[in-house]
Amino acid sequence: MKATTKQVLTGAAWLAILLAMIGGVMLWQHQVRKAKPLTTVTVTSTERIPMVLLLDSHLTHNQKQQLITNIQHTSASQSMVTATITTTGAVTFKGQLLNSDNRPYLQVQLPTAVNAEQQAQLIKRVLTLAQQHFEFQRFNLIGYGTGGLSATNYVEHTTTHLTPQHLILIATPFNGTSQQNNHRHKTTPVASKSQTTTLAKLIAHRQSISPKLKVLIIAEKVVKAKQSLPLQSALAGQSVFKPVVKSYRQKILRSWRTQSDLLDNRQIGNAIQSFTD
């Protein structure tokens, strides 16, 4: 009789444990059903952050396409839109973006017969309209050649809201192309007595640049040929940005061929992606 009672009590204990486990599972399932769907989770990597391009106005159509191809080669699936603005401020967008375009390209074409301050205002207008039209807040800015001068002047005259996250300046003639004012292979800043009016003016206004701006200057050193843009001029932007921004980098790409102006150098895309990621 004692053995039977012990067995009954043991069985009752195991039954109580089993019921508690079943109850716990049912409660957990109920909580899971009440959980928020995964679609409410915000994935920041899908935010649309366009790459805005300001290219040298002297480049031919084919040269621009060659450069853009090399800039894009790590993100060729992203769409390209061209924004053209007139001296009166009329903007025309050519092309469309897909919903999946989170790192698209926006090429800005400026009128040539305007000064630096007018250019800055026209760029602000294009970006303001583009933000509304293509629904983005943050963006990166790439300038090539004289487009790099326009981009530098822009960040000195824009507002905080319209300041890019990253600024990439490629083969920019900060101190002109004169061999007298610049050394072919020097990477040191240009001496005050050798600075052009353009460079001196950019240096004078550098305090208006946002310190949060991240800057990358890309230059090319041609080893066995004469190059049209001296290395020292292409790196002279260090005197503009280095004393102001917290994040400054410069990258020198070496070439053994004739001067290529970086148009066909695929390392550009890698350098830009590494910098902006």
Alpha carbon distance 53, 143 (integer Å): 6
What pLDDT score does 222 carry? 79
Give per-residue pLDDT as tens, 107-119: 999 998 899 889 9
Top pLDDT among 83 and 68 is at 83
Alpha carbon distance 149, 176 (integer Å): 10
What pLDDT score does 267 carry? 84
Residue 188, Cβ density class (10 Å: 0-12 exposed, 13-18 middle, ≥19 buried):
exposed
User: What six digits make up the tokens of 13?
Assistant: 């204990």
Give per-residue pLDDT as tens, 69-98: 888 876 668 999 999 999 999 999 999 999
Phi, psi of 168 (to 5 degrees): -115, 125
Start-to-end CA distance of the chain, whole Å, equals: 77
Question: For the whole model, what pTM was predicted?
Answer: 0.81
Q: What is the CATH number of domain 49-276?
A: 3.40.50.1820
Phi, psi of 160 (to 5 degrees): -60, -40
What pLDDT score does 228 carry? 80
Per domain, the residue ranges of the chain are: 2-38, 49-276
Q: Of 106, 110, 172, whose CA–CA distance to 139 is shortest?
A: 106
Alpha carbon distance 194, 51 (integer Å): 34
Percent of the chain at pLDDT exceeding 90? 60
Q: 105 CB contacts (<8 Å, ≥6 apart)? A: 50, 51, 52, 53, 68, 71, 72, 78, 79, 80, 81
Alpha carbon distance 144, 159 (integer Å): 22
State which H helix or E strand residue 53 sits in: strand 51-54
The answer to whether residue 3 scores a pLDDT higher than 60 is no
The pairing of strands 91-94 and 80-85 is antiparallel
